[in-house]
């Protein structure tokens, strides 16, 4: 068995209700999303805010209940029984975006990292202490014995994010879901945290789902990528191919938007091949068509996610070359 995670037709709709009105609108946060993840693979989920990336992550961990769809983790279907919940919540860990908000400022670093061990009742007190120190060495927070007794406010943003990583690692997970782990950090230390994540992946054969809107850091860590737009996967495939030859107009727009440090940028307008965002969510037909510069008549129907090449899928009738 090669797959660590299989997600099939996952769907979650939220009802948006006004306080005073009984009728509400439905937000299709995740709509019929399927993907799979091999052991040791890094899959990037990319898209803007509101594209459903984080909801997908929360559904996998069952922090929220899916409306429909299957999640199979390491050969076991995740349901509401204690056994499968315990498995996924132990072997699949999450890293959140903001290291200033995701660790408790009143707890010592040692207690923060030890907490998951206590929850899952692993080891004796002495063993736990050793495991925490090992995790600190692993994320290169040295000297670990010193950091052990510190409080979060004594650490910098990059160091805090490594504490979060240590807390995830201490349970020896098979899958780590990292939700924008470096977007709050300085550019100069982003590469350091990403490098560390990659080292750990190779050493322990951990799989990652890396959630981001920043395609340039995505390329650094990922092997495969799925681009999400309004709850749907619109394009997926090997990362270098997707980023160098995008097939979906939305992927192209995301790529257009990225700045690279080139002095020539100064002289030209930034061209983004996208129409002004209409803030109405379109759920019929192609969801991107209101913003798509290539939209044709046929886009009123929903485009299926079809194979467009070796390992590549795109949901678009136009398909760029």
- Which positions lie near other proteins, rule CB under 8 A? 48-49, 156-157, 183, 186-192, 194-195, 213-217, 219-220, 243-244, 253-263, 265-266, 269-270, 272, 274, 277, 279
Residue 156 φ/ψ, nearest 5 degrees: -80, 170
CB of 262 to other proteins, least distance (A): 6
Q: 7 vs 218, which CB is nearer to other proteins?
A: 218
CB of 183 to other proteins, least distance (A): 8
CB of 31 to other proteins, least distance (A): 20
CB of 168 to other proteins, least distance (A): 21
Q: 148 vs 220, which CB is nearer to other proteins?
A: 220
Rounded CA-CA distance 76/87 in Å is 9
CB of 120 to other proteins, least distance (A): 33
CB of 4 to other proteins, least distance (A): 24
3-class secondary structure per residue, 18-73: CCCCCCEEEEEEEEEEEEEEECCCEEEEECCCCCCHHHHHHHHCCCCCCCEEEEEE
Structure tokens at 97: 């975006």
Burial readout 186-207 (b: 16 or more C-beta within 10 A, e: otherwise): eeebbebbbebbeebbeeeebb
> How many CB atoms are closer than 10 A to CB 273?
16
Chain centroid to CA 311: 20
Q: 155 vs 286, which CB is nearer to other proteins?
A: 155
Q: 114 vs 254, which CB is nearer to other proteins?
A: 254
The packing angle between helices 109-119 and 125-138, to 10°, is 120
CB of 230 to other proteins, least distance (A): 13
Query: Alpha-carbon torsion 40, 86, 7, 95, what sign?
Result: negative
CB of 189 to other proteins, least distance (A): 6
**Residue 245 near residue 311, CB atoms below 8 Å:** no
Closest CA to 235 of 300, 198, 288: 288
Complete edge-to-edge strand list for the sheet that includes strand 76-77: 24-38, 3-17, 68-73, 76-77
Q: Quick check: helix, strand or coil at residue 181? A: coil
Q: 50 vs 123, which CB is nearer to other proteins?
A: 50
Q: 259 vs 284, which CB is nearer to other proteins?
A: 259
Q: 269 vs 321, which CB is nearer to other proteins?
A: 269
Q: 74 vs 214, which CB is nearer to other proteins?
A: 214
Q: 49 vs 202, which CB is nearer to other proteins?
A: 49
CB of 67 to other proteins, least distance (A): 26
Structure tokens at 245: 């030859």
């Amino acid at each position: 068995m090669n797959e660590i995670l299989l997600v099939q037709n996952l769907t979650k709709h939220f009802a948006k209700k006004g306080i005073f009105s009984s009728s509400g609108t439905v937000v299709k946060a995740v709509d019929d999303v399927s993907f799979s993840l091999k052991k040791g693979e890094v899959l990037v989920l990319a898209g803007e805010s509101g594209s459903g990336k984080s909801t997908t992550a929360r559904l996998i961990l069952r922090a929220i209940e899916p409306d429909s769809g299957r999640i199979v983790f390491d050969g076991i279907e995740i349901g509401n029984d204690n056994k499968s919940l315990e498995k996924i919540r132990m072997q699949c860990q999450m890293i959140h975006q903001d290291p200033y908000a995701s660790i408790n400022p009143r707890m010592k670093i040692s207690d923060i990292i030890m907490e998951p061990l206590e929850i899952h009742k692993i080891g004796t007190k002495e063993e736990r202490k050793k495991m925490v120190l090992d995790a600190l060495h692993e994320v290169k927070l040295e000297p670990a014995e010193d950091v052990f007794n510190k409080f979060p406010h004594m650490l910098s943003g990059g160091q805090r994010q490594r504490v979060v990583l240590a807390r995830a690692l201490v349970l020896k997970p098979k899958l780590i879901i990292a939700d924008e782990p470096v977007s709050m950090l300085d550019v100069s230390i982003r590469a350091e945290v990403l490098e560390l994540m990659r080292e750990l992946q190779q050493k322990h054969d951990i799989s990652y789902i890396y959630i981001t809107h920043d395609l340039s850091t995505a390329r650094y860590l990922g092997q495969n990528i799925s681009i999400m737009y309004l709850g749907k996967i619109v394009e997926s495939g090997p990362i270098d191919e997707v980023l160098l030859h995008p097939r979906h107009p939305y992927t192209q727009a995301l790529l257009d938007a990225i700045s690279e440090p080139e002095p020539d940028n100064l002289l030209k307008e930034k061209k983004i091949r996208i129409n002004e965002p209409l803030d109405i969510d379109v759920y019929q037909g192609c969801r991107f068509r209101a913003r798509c510069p290539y939209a044709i008549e046929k886009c009123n129907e929903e485009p299926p996610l079809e194979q467009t090449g070796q390992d590549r899928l795109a949901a678009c009738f136009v398909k760029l070359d």
